[in-house]
Chains A and B, each alone.
Chain A
Amino acid sequence: EAGVAQSPRYKIIEKRQSVAFWCNPISGHATLYWYQQILGQGPKLLIQFQNNGVVDDSQLPKDRFSAERLKGVDSTLKIQPAKLEDSAVYLCASSLDLGTYEQYFGPGTRLTVT
């Protein structure tokens, strides 16, 4: 079974530029999560989808971050414009359905904003 795929693995941009990350969850997984992991900290949930609907986006900085999962499968997370403090690893995870707490994580995208 293929795991959660993410691309790119690394990205370096200048502040005020925009960037997009892509995630393809495990086949059949209804729930998809985007986390931000700043160096030295644990992952923090940005947004959670159930199929193509948003379950929780309370910690997503909506003035600059956006995410979509249009067909209930893969997802993109966008930052526009980026700030220095957005430098982090962005992790995507998926789970079969709600109530399982079995989240499978992708390898992450390391973003550096200069």
Chain B
Amino acid sequence: AQSVTQPDIHITVSEGASLELRCNYSYGATPYLFWYVQSPGQGLQLLLKYFSGDTLVQGIKGFEAEFKRSQSSFNLRKPSVHWSDAAEYFCAVGVDSYDKVIFGPGTSLSVIP
């Protein structure tokens, strides 16, 4: 069955430090992969997506993610975190031609000033 795991429930980083959020997926075919961010009291916002091609994907707000098929991973990175990046981050995989998306459990990011 298709699934998404995010090993880190909560991560704390200092402002200005680099960030990597881990995501692993289970899916038989070539996956469509996504990262969403959810700020407190807000809906989800798409940060970036991978469909095919270059395995390093650039997104909004300075985020990037790298697809590694051999590791079934799609980790999110940012070279320098800002206090406004504190939020919940969800990795997701698209599983059919009807745009069905399965979300991971999320990683909560705290940023220390």
Residues of B within 8 A of A4 (CB): 43
Main secondary structure of the interface of A (DSSP, over half): loop
Q: What separation, in Å, do the CA atoms of A50 and B96 have in the docked complex?
A: 15
Residues of A within 8 A of B105 (CB): 40-42
**A105 within 8 Å of B by Cβ?**
yes
| Interface size in chain A (residues, C-beta < 8 A) | 25
Would A108 and B43 count as touching, CB distance under 8 A?
yes
Q: What separation, in Å, do the CA atoms of A4 and B43 have in the docked complex?
A: 9
**A84 within 8 Å of B by Cβ?**
no
**A72 within 8 Å of B by Cβ?**
no
A/B pair count, beta carbons within 8 Å:
57
Q: Which of B14-73 contact A (CB under 8 A)?
A: 32, 34, 41-46, 49, 51
| Interface size in chain B (residues, C-beta < 8 A) | 23
Complex: chain B residue closest to A100, CB-CB: B99
Q: Which of B95-113 contact A (CB under 8 A)?
A: 97-101, 103-106
Would B101 and A103 count as touching, CB distance under 8 A?
yes
Q: CB-CB contacts of A28-40 with B at 8 A, as 1s and 0s?
A: 0001000000001
CB distance from A33 to the nearest CB of B (A): 8
Q: Which A positions have Cβ atoms within 8 angstroms of B?
A: 4, 31, 40-45, 48, 50, 55-56, 91, 93, 95, 98-103, 105-108
Given contacts A48-B100, A107-B42, 13 further A-B contacts (CB under 8 A): A40-B105, A41-B105, A42-B4, A42-B103, A56-B100, A93-B44, A98-B99, A101-B32, A103-B46, A103-B99, A105-B44, A106-B43, A107-B41
